[in-house]
Structure 1
Amino acid sequence: MLRDHVRSSDPAFQHAVHGMAVISLDGTFLKINTALHDLLGYPQHEFISAASPDLDHAYREMLSDIQTYGESLQSQHLTNGKFERQIGLVSGRKLQVIIHLAIIPNEDHDPDHYLVQFEDRTRLAELETKMNATETMLLDIQTSYWQMLEKMPLAVLITKKGVVQYVNPAALRLIHAKDQSEVYGLVTDTIVDASFHYTLTNRRRVYATDQSLDAVSYLINCLDGQQKFVEGFTLVITYEGEPAAVGVFKDITDQRQKEEHMMQSEKLTMAGQLAAGIAHEIRNPLTSINGFMKLMRSSNRNTDYYYDIIESELKRIELIVNELLVLSKPQAKHVSKPVNVLPILDQVITLMKVQSALKDIEIVFDTDDTSLWIIGEINQLKQVFINLLKNGMDAMEAGGTITVTTYSNEQEVLISVRDEGSGMTAEQVQRLGQPFYTTKETGTGLGFMITQNIIHNHRGSIQIESTPNQGTIFTVKLPKIKKPEDIE
């Protein structure tokens, strides 16, 4: 009967994808198919032969388990079932298989033998093991990542579409929040002060265009009404399956206040140095006005021409005085906004011509542009250009010409200030910007350091080219923007 059953199922049995075997009730192989031979690595005759001690040793426990499981099915009056076990091959390799067992009866419906199918799950089990290990590793990394964020001294905020999703303890301390519930759901436009909304909007526009985000400084509003200056950078990540922005910031309020004090001191120093020259320059138009007033009193002719001259001289005095007041006036808060740099240069050159004339120095403004737009703070930019012009004048004891030139490309506005002074060595150029280092007989060295800080805060840079006894060129590079649509 067994022989007839096996013969009748030979094609399906031999060509089955899974390894299959016919096993006796006492746990010996009666027949195996090719797939099982390939899986277990033994020729068919060795499986069937009783004189194979290696085979007996390698699979004794497996056959014993099959026999035990088959007896268990019989005791429960079941005809089929499955169980999973590991098979250790003679080669040393381990197989993870699911063994499907069916009890085949004889003509009297009594159990005759077992038809067993071996489903190889080794590869799947290996993949599951690797996947579980990877998942564990990722969980460990994620846990470490969050622990790092929680312990970071820098403030970290995660936002989606401008809405806060996460803040670390340092960020809570930065904005004076008691717990995360006070911050979750806030929009960044609320935290960032309105004076910096243009900067915020422009960063979003730049990222949408070229997928880049530079470092940035903001004035922020704390929850208790205080304001702070912060500086940091932003990364775009995937957070909970969606794009999100991770902002990392540090509090630079104290640093900014110190810089403000230094700049204010430098302004007052420059104002004092300019005062003598300005007083002299104001005295000239005042002398003219006084003279023309006397002429008007003694003349019976039409005096309209005299009035025009007097009005022109008074306007010149007003311009000089206003520029001086700008230098000495304390600034409580600097607001960056779109500005055209050309009028700023024109005003600064007008102011500095007063002092340059006393030193027999001519300042030439060379530009072919009608407008050059940047994001900046007007008074700070004026201080930069005044510092550069003043440095050039101090280096030109014998007089000469200072040339201010502007040009631009698609990304930058460039302003160069070229003097004909004593120049500097490479070592002197390298040390410029260090506190209290100066090439002048009297000076603190703070002026150029403040100039560098202002340019850095405007996301720009300054380049110096100098040759001893031939002069120096300072070139300021600032990010260029298009003319804002709301400015005609």
Structure 2
Amino acid sequence: MLPYSTPNHDFAFEQSVIGMAIVSLDGTMLKVNSALSDLLGYSQQELTAGAPQEESIRKLLHQVVQNARTAQDHQQSVTYFEYTYHHPSDREVYLSVHTRVEHDMEQCPQTYLVQFEDRTLLRHVMKQLELNEQKLHEEENSYLQLLEGLPLSVLITKKGIIHYVNPATLRLVNAAHPRDVLGISTDVIVDVSYHNELSKRRARYVESGEIGSVNYLIRCLDGQKKMVTGFTLVINYEGEKAAVNIFKDITEQRMEEDRVMQSEKLTTAGQLAAGIAHEIRNPLTSINGFVKLLRSAERSNELYFEIIESELKRIELIVNELLVLSKPQGVHVSGPIDVFAIMEQIITLMKVQAALKNIEIIPHYPMVPVFVQGEVNQLKQVFINLLKNAMEAMNQGGTITLDILHNAQEVQIIVQDEGVGMTQEQIQSLGQPFVTTKDTGTGLGMMITKNIIHNHGGTMNVESIPDHGTTFTIHLPAL
């Protein structure tokens, strides 16, 4: 079973009428459903048996990875493109490909969830409409007959007013007769929440003559709401310019996507709960055993009490960090915050503790105000956590250096220690609950730190060499 998969998730994945795949970051299909197997013309085993030899599939997966990486560079989690696929039966299949970046628990990209939709029919209709556009005024009756038989919803509008609908459109908007729809504005059909998108499309057509594809939330005549996707072409209709709008109902598809996402959230919550139960069960088992020993012993043993006290403190630590994690981590903006002032306060706070461990904290930044937007106490918690981690990694003493770099776009806070360092595997697991490099740690402190930085619109990079130290670099948007 793949990470974050559950029986419900797997069921929704397998039963989807849309081709779906889980793709690795390097472009290998890890899992596909039967709908995708039928769509691409290869068995599920052939598609997941490694890098396919068929050139069209290799190019398709390469395009998925390239678009996903570009989207990540622009801080986007979802990307879309269209692709012409050469089917083994020697025909062309036009695919609409939606890719969503799936992250692990520390918000690092893990896999791509990719949906492949067969838009061959839509493409053929579009080509047919383009070929017929010049002859439409001569063959208008034949053209309307074609539209009447289409399973897709088609409506023709002039200046936003509906002049024609086919039977599929009547079914889409739950209308009994064309007269229920003809003559009304598309503003009535398109939900008010999408009126801004509707206005943008109209303005784009006025400026460049382009309309393009679109997704709309529509309000049916009986009040029901549906999600549709489609495209628009400009034609001559009844001697005037008009817009032919072709739409497909994707309400069920969106509901299915929501079900899959909800399933993933429940899986993550279940994994966290299992980790909590495991971490607390161990000290409770120890406490229970030593209580039994004390009951059977003729005299009290001070060592038993020390072990029990130590285990109780560990449970308290886990519970306290979970309480912090459970609090809403949204940024409650208190105004501009001077990062330099915060760092000076924290250095003063931590100097005594550092001196006891023969550690020197050295600031390497100019003593001038550097401002970011955020919540003071949360950012203090981030910097305290990083300094505490640095000191706990330096058993033999040493130096911790702090740097603040800034430009018009961002502020960088760099914490560098001379501690034991970490392997690449340990760096990748940072921020996962109950995964830690410390003997008595829980991993929740780093998880909280990463959440706070993320909620402030920032990122954190980690570089480390075993036995040579670690460097944490925090990037925050500058005011």
Question: Where on the TM-score scale, by shorter chain, does this alignment land: which range?
Answer: 0.3 to 0.5
Structure with the bigger RCO (C-alpha within 8 Å, sep 6+) is: 2
TM-score, normalising length: structure 2: 0.36
TM-score, normalising length: structure 1: 0.35
